[in-house]
Amino acid sequence: MNENELELPEMILLEHFSGDFKRFIDAVYMVFQHDFVNHKTRFRGEELRLKWHPVYQDKSYTFYHMTHKGEDEQNREPDLRRCERIPWARPIIENCDQWNLKIWPQKRKGSNRLCIWLEFEDEPDYFIVLDVRENYKLLWTAFVAEYDHEKRKKQKEYEGWLKTQKSPDKT
Per-residue pLDDT of 129-155, as tens digits, reads: 999 998 899 999 999 998 888 888 999
Residue 32: pLDDT above 90?
yes
In this prediction the pTM is: 0.88
Residue 171: pLDDT above 70?
no
Residue 17: pLDDT above 50?
yes
What is the overall mean pLDDT for the chain? 88
Residue 30: pLDDT above 60?
yes
Confidence of residue 1 (pLDDT cuts 50, 70, 90): low
Closest CA to 139 of 32, 58, 56: 32
Tens of pLDDT along 36-65? 999 889 999 898 999 887 777 778 889 988
pLDDT at 19: 93
Neighbours of 147 (CB within 10 A): 10
CA 129 distance to own-chain centroid = 5
Percent of the chain residues past pLDDT 70, beyond the cut: 93
Residue 168: pLDDT above 70?
no
Mean pLDDT throughout 7-21?
Answer: 94
**Residue 158: strand, helix, or coil:** helix
Given a contact cutoff of 8 angstroms between Cβ atoms, the answer to whether 68 and 86 are in contact is no
Domain locations in the chain? Answer: 3-160
Mean pLDDT throughout 74-96?
Answer: 93
Given a contact cutoff of 8 angstroms between Cβ atoms, the answer to whether 105 and 141 are in contact is no
